[in-house]
């Protein structure tokens, strides 16, 4: 069992791109750049789903997140325009307090993950066939999700009406 297989190399590249882009997204001072870096993170997440052989999930991620949400962000950044150019940070003290809090919480979580001994031997490379996804989404048996699906559709309708109501000019 060689240590550096192709999967691990691909994963390492993906993880590097995602972490660098995520860090750039929360530190850059220009709004459009932050949104573009977020787009790289979202594409990387789709790559992670493809690596888990959840191809449908990867496609949904690209269509909804990278295609829909990022367009919304870009619209907002362009509509607001001048107000978004200069993202001023907080005072140095609060900046380092935030850095310290998130880094220490991250260290605790990473320690718990590394020492948990999570079993990985059940992973199969079969993926999920499209027919299984369709029947599970529309079925009414156990482990089927038709109620959640309908609740989601009502939520999206309500959110559409709400967004129009909020953003409409008086």
Partner 1 sequence: MIVPAEFYLILATILFFIGVFGFFTRRNLISLLVSTELMLNAVDINFAVFNAYSHPEQLEGFFFTMFGIGIAAAETAVAIAIIINVFRNVKSIHIKNLRNLKH
Of residues 89 through 148, those in contact with partner 1 by CB under 8 A are 89-90, 94-95, 97-99, 101-103, 105-106, 109-110, 113-114, 118-120, 122-126, 128, 132-133, 136-137, 143, 145, 148
Among 83, 134, 138, 139, binds partner 1 (CB under 8 A): 83
Within 2-61, which residues bind partner 1 (CB under 8 A)? Answer: 2-3, 5, 7-8, 11, 15, 18-19, 22-23, 25-27, 31, 34-35, 38, 41-42, 45, 48-49, 51-54, 57, 60-61
Q: Tell me, letter by letter, the H, E, C secondary structure of the chain.
A: CCCCCHHHHHHHHHHHHHHHHHHHHHHCCCHHHHHHHHHHHHHHHHHHHHHCCCHHHHHHHHHHHHHHHHHHHHHHHHHHHHHHCCCCCCCHHHHHHHHHHHHHHHHHHHHHHHHCCCCCCCCCCCCCCHHHHHHHHHCCCCCCCHHHHHHHHHHHHHHHHHHHHHHCCC
Smallest gap from residue 123 Cβ to partner 1 (A): 5
How many residues bind partner 1 (CB under 8 A)? The answer is 89
Smallest gap from residue 140 Cβ to partner 1 (A): 15
Smallest gap from residue 62 Cβ to partner 1 (A): 11
């Amino acid at each position: 069992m060689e240590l550096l297989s192709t999967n691990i190399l691909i994963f390492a590249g993906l993880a590097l791109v995602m972490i660098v882009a995520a860090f750039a997204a929360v530190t850059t001072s220009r709004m459009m750049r932050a949104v573009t870096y977020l787009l790289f993170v979202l594409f990387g997440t789709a790559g992670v789903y493809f690596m888990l052989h959840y191809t449908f999930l990867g496609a949904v991620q690209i269509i909804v997140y990278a295609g829909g949400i990022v367009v919304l962000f870009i619209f907002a950044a362009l509509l607001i325009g001048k107000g978004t150019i200069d993202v001023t940070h907080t005072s140095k003290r609060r900046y380092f307090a935030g850095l310290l809090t998130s880094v220490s919480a991250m260290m605790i979580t990473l320690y718990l993950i590394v020492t948990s001994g999570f079993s990985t031997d059940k992973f199969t490379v079969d993926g999920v066939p499209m027919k299984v996804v369709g029947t599970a989404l529309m079925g009414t048996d156990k482990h089927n999700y038709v109620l959640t699906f309908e609740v989601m559709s009502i939520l999206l309708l309500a959110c559409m009406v709400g967004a129009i109501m909020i953003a409409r000019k008086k």
